């Protein structure tokens, strides 16, 4: 059993309307990984207090999101892998993409297959 899903989280929960499997701040569309990324940013790391103030979230919610991500939940890695497959299928991983590379239209059936895997 996945320990990150069996833990009782006060501020975190899944978002059934999202294709992401990782936890979100309940009642928002903010993924816990976004808050963690703000905290560990190589360029401009933010304290939990700064994140809380910036996003108008309870401090405890920010700390819970950081703890969740530090537990290395497998659903975050799985979401990342799905995102990478979608980027590859659409041509966004092509080195020339940002300088005028062509975006490939990914058929809906292929997107659905990638998101299910």
Tell the residue number behind the tokens 């905290």, with chain if given: 39
* Straight-line distance from the first to the last Cα atom of the chain, in angstroms, rounded to the nearest whole number: 19
**Residue 114's pLDDT is what?**
73
Provide the phi-psi class of 72: left if phi over 0, else alpha when psi is between -120 and 50, else beta: left
pLDDT of residue 110: 78
Q: Identify the pLDDT of residue 32.
A: 97
User: Where would I find the beta strands (DSSP E) of 1-117?
Assistant: 12-13, 24-25
Could you report the per-residue pLDDT of 47-96, keeping only the tens digit for each? 999 999 999 999 999 999 999 999 999 999 999 998 888 888 887 777 77
Label residue 73 left, alpha or beta by phi (over 0 means left) and psi (-120 to 50 means alpha). beta
């Amino acid at each position: 059993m996945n320990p990150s899903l069996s833990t009782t989280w006060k501020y975190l929960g899944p978002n059934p309307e999202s294709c992401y499997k990782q936890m979100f701040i309940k009642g928002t569309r903010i993924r816990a990984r976004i808050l963690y990324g703000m905290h560990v940013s190589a360029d401009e790391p933010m304290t939990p207090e700064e994140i809380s103030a910036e996003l108008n979230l309870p401090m405890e919610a920010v700390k819970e999101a950081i703890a969740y991500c530090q537990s290395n939940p497998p659903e975050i890695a799985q979401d990342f892998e799905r995102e990478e497959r979608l980027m590859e299928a659409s041509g966004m991983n092509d080195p020339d993409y940002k300088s005028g590379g062509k975006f490939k239209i990914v058929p809906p059936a292929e997107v659905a297959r990638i998101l299910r895997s």
